[in-house]
Each structure stands twice: as C-alpha cells, then as structure tokens.
Structure 1
C-alpha cells in the first residue's frame, strides 16, 4: 500500500471513531486533525470536504460491524442460532461494542434523519444489508425444515432487527446491558415457540 493510501485509510479509521461517538454535527475538522495528527492541507489532499470524510468513515464502520455479524453467524449451525448471533455481537454493547460508540447505523440514522440526506441514505442501506442477511438465514432455515413453511422472512427479519436495535438503544441509554440480554432471551423464546417446526 502506498503512503498516500495509508494516510487516507488512517484518516478514515480515526474519523469513523470520532463521528460514531460525537456525531456529524458534533465533529469538527479540528477534531480530525487532532486525532490523526495530519494538518488541514494534508486532509484536503485526500478529501474534498467533511462530508466526504463522514461518508467514507460511515462505510468503514458499517463494514466492520457487518463483518462481525457474518463471522458470528458463520460459527452457528442452525438458522435460529445464526439469527441470535447478531444479538451476541452487541451482547456487551455498553462496555465492548463491535465498534466504538455503538451501532454506526443507528447513530447515523438518528442524527441524520432530517439533516443530512446522504448520510441517512447510507444508514438506510446499512439497515437493508442487515435485514437481507437475516432474511437469507430465515429462508435457509425454512428450506432446511428448521422453520415453519409459512414463516414470513420479511416480517421475522424486521422483528429481529427491531429487537436488536432497540436493545442497543436502551442498553446504551441506561448504561446497562440487561436490555440487550432480555431481548436475547425473549427472541430465543419467540423462535422456539412460534418459528421452529415441530416434528
């Protein structure tokens, strides 16, 4: 990797952590300069604006979280276990989130809802990526005979993702992982009682 590429990657990595903790509006170019040690001119050699940095930083943070989701799901054999694996990634969201500051998609979606349409679109794409991953797992579970044939993959994925994001929000707000842990227990019971095919 060339020095210029390494510099650009370093700016993205450091900025992603800042944006995910302080938000787009709360992050200044001076914050990025202070954290990267790169002067303003050096940053503008690689990015046209703060917007450009924010978009690349979001892509970086979201890709890391999606990789964690995939790795966690790949360790499970059953479809239900693979769905619960998404929750396990955020099991200790208060002290050990998969990316510093919590869920990049949630943080970006909340802040950019009415203020930054391009960031909002990135967050929306992130939501659909996660939902598509879940729907694929559910379809595989139906095909394998683990889940009931009449299960609606779209509805179950939406329900699962809502529980996941709600657990993240409440746990972060309360400073207590119990909300996420309760959602894991509740979702596991729901899968057992309503989704698994009985022999």
Structure 2
C-alpha cells in the first residue's frame, strides 16, 4: 500500500462505526477529524467529499460482516447447513453487530432512502447480492434433492426481512430475545424444508 491508500484505509476503519451509528446526515466533519486525529485537509485530500467516505465506510461495515458469514457457510456442504450457519452468525455475533450500531444494510438503507442516491444504490446492490446468495443456496438444495420445492425468491425475501426486522426491534427496544427467538423460528422453517 502506498501512503495515501494506508491513510484512506485508516480513515475508513476509524469512521465506519460512526457512520453506522449516526448515519450520513448525523455524521459531521468534526466526527471524522475527532475519530482519526486528522485535519479536514487530510481527510479531503484522500476523499472527494463526505459522501465518498460514507460510501467506503458502508462497504467496510458490509464486508466485515459478510466475510464472517461466507467463511462459516463455505465450511458446510448441504444447503440446510449453509442456511443454518448463516443464521448462527447472527445468533453468535449480534452483540458485536449491535455495538457497531446495528446492521449496516438496514441503517444505511433507512438513512439514504430519500436523500442520498449513491448510498441507496450501493445498499440496493448489497441487498440484491444477499438475496441472490440465499436463492442460490435454496435452488442448489432443491436440485440436489436436499430441500423441498419452494419459491426460492419469496423465501429469501421473507428470511431477510425477518432477520432485518428482528435486528431493528431487538436493538431499538434493547431486547435481544426478539432476534434470538426469530432466529430459532427460521431454523425450524429450514428443518421443515428438508426432504426426509
């Protein structure tokens, strides 16, 4: 890495949780300078504007969670085990996720929905990627005769909505049981999908 790449990465890592907690509009330049110890000139010498920092911070937060999930899922062979590993990630990592401000997709989607088209398009892409991964697992499970035939797209949407909604309620109400109980319900759904 050249010095500017190291500095950019430093800024991203130091500001990622701030953007995730405070949102794009709620994060000020003073938050960025305080978190990094750098001057305004140093930050804007490495990024075009706050929007670019926010975009890279979102990508960093997303990648942080995604890499963990994908690692767990790749270790599994069957479709049901991959989906269960996906759910176990949220069960085992929810404290860290909440400490980082909650789900980066959910937070950024809400924050950017009506005001930041660049961030909104990035979030849409990540959601579509998430849906594609779940659908692919389900379709492979159906083809391998591991899972019953279902509408994979509808199932993926329901699963993701239940996880995201549970994270929102659990974090907002400070009741982790909401997420944990819904994960168990999703696990039961997956068990029902298995061909005996």
User: Does structure 1 residue 168 correspond to structure 2 residue 167?
Assistant: yes
Alignment root-mean-square deviation, CA:
1.7
Deviations 1:93-131 (CA, angstroms, capped at 9, x unpaired): 652228711111100011111111111111111111111
Structure 1, 10-19 or 67-76: larger mean CA deviation: 67-76
Hey, what's the Cα distance between the residues in 2 that align with 1:85 and 1:177? 19
Count of residue pairs the alignment pairs up: 196
Gaps of 5+ in 2: none
Q: Which residue of 2 aligns with 1:11?
A: 11
Distance change >3 Å, CA 52–CA 82, structure 1 → 2: same
2:128 maps to 1:128? yes
2:106 equivalent to 1:82 = no
Pick the structure with more helix per residue: 2
Quick check: 2:109–2:120 contact (8 Å CA) kept in 1? Answer: yes
- The range that moved more, 81-90 or 159-168, is 81-90
Name the residue aligned to 2:91. 91
Shift of 1:75: 2.9
The within-5 A match list for 1:24-103 is: 24-92=24-92, 95-97=95-97, 100-103=100-103
Moved over 4 A (4+): none
TM-score, length basis structure 2 = 0.93
Q: Which residue of 1 aligns with 2:177?
A: 178
* Deviation larger for 58-67 or 82-91: 82-91
Structure 1 regions of 5+ residues with no counterpart?
none
Cα–Cα, structure 1 residues 160 and 64, in superposed 2: closer, same or farther, change >3 Å?
same
Find the counterpart in structure 2 of residue 197 from structure 1: 195
Distance 1:191 1:62, change over 3 A: same
Greater CA drift, 179-188 or 91-100:
91-100
Q: What SS is found at the alignment partner of 1:191? A: helix
More deviation, 70-79/15-24: 70-79
Contact kept in structure 2, 1:90 and 1:168, CA below 8 Å: no
Deviation at 1:173, TM superposition (A): 1.2
TM-score between the two structures when normalised by the length of structure 1: 0.92
Q: Could you tell me whether the CA contact under 8 Å between 1:94 and 1:175 is conserved in 2? A: no
